Amino acid sequence: MRRPKHQQLRPEPLIVEDLLLLLLDDRTGTVRGEANVHYTLGGAVLIELALLGRVELDGKRVHAVAGEPLGDSLLDAAAAQVAKRPKHVHTVLLDLGLDLEPQVRDRLVDRGLLRRERSKVLGLIPVTRTPAQDLPYEAALLERVRAVLEDGVPPDPRTAALTAVLSAGGTLRELHPAIPRSRAVTERARELREGTWGAAAVNQAILVAAVASIGGAVAEAAVGGDSSS
């Protein structure tokens, strides 16, 4: 998705920002355990649009729902992208998620959740890292996800969506030991992927379609990696 010319941020981080924050290694700022991060990030944006009532699913195609500006440059750009014409969920995730990671990193830096460090390798090659800056925020975010998965705490829509996308992308295992590996956690994650947390019907349809598409992309990448090794 094309970067907006001017960044306007909602007061609270978007689902996609929380998602990338958890996907990044705190020390190096590199994405961990996620080969198809563009699909995962695109899914988070699409689900947020659904929660805001700006998209709906008609069969297998995503349609835009008209409305006032959302007050966030990334979300408004995403809504405009979807509004161009109805497309299959898989295509929408790619449209929204392609080249999105650098934009979301910049937003996390602007919010003080990451910091930007510039250095040179061998004194010549410029390198930029974005390690974690606000560890208490990330710890609280992880605790909300853990409480939903392990303790069975009823999730709010945003935490449910975040957890479902993490699970679909195969990333929950990368968050161990903060997120335990157990049969109960796996089962609860499956329930969230299926939208069984009291979501409105339209939101549930988008969530289920998005996480299924993310899971399919991850599985396809895994098969491709095995065949090329």
Name the β-bridge partners of 114: 132
How confident is the model over 116-167, as pLDDT tens digits? 998 887 777 888 889 999 999 999 999 999 999 999 999 999 999 999 999 9
**pLDDT score for 198:** 64
Q: Are 41 and 104 in contact (CB under 8 A)?
A: yes
pLDDT of 34 reads 60
**Any idea where the domains of the chain sit in the sequence?**
15-222
Say what percent of the chain tops pLDDT 90.
Answer: 69
CATH number of 15-222: 1.10.3630.10
> pLDDT category, 101, cuts 50, 70, 90?
very high
Degrees to nearest 5, angle at CA 32 with 42 and 7: 45
Which CB contacts under 8 angstroms, 24+ apart, belong to 146-154?
A: 146/178, 146/179, 146/180, 148/188, 148/192, 149/179, 149/180, 149/184, 149/185, 149/188, 149/189, 150/179, 150/180, 150/182, 150/184, 150/185, 150/188, 152/188, 154/197, 154/198
pLDDT digits (tens, 9 = 90+) for 6-43: 789 999 999 999 999 999 999 989 998 666 899 999 99
* Res. 225 pLDDT band, cuts 50 70 90: low
Place of tokens 């020390």: 27
Residue keyed to tokens 């700006």: 54
Angle between helices 201-228 and 89-97 (to 10 degrees): 80
Place of tokens 């990671």: 101
Burial 116-135 (b: 16+ CB within 10 A, else e): eeeeeeeeeeeeeebebbee
pLDDT at 83 > cutoff 60: yes
DSSP for 105-161, written as a single string: HHHHHHTTSB--EEEEETTTEEEEE--BS-HHHHHHHHHHHHIIIII-PPPPHHHHH
* Interior angle at CA 199, CA 193 and CA 201, nearest 5: 100
Distance CA 168, CA 43 (A): 10
- Mean pLDDT over residues 200-210, rounded? 81
C-alpha–C-alpha distance, residues 46 and 32, integer Å: 22
| pLDDT of 229 above 50 | no
Q: What is the mean pLDDT of the chain?
A: 89
Give 200's pLDDT tier (boundaries 50, 70, 90): low
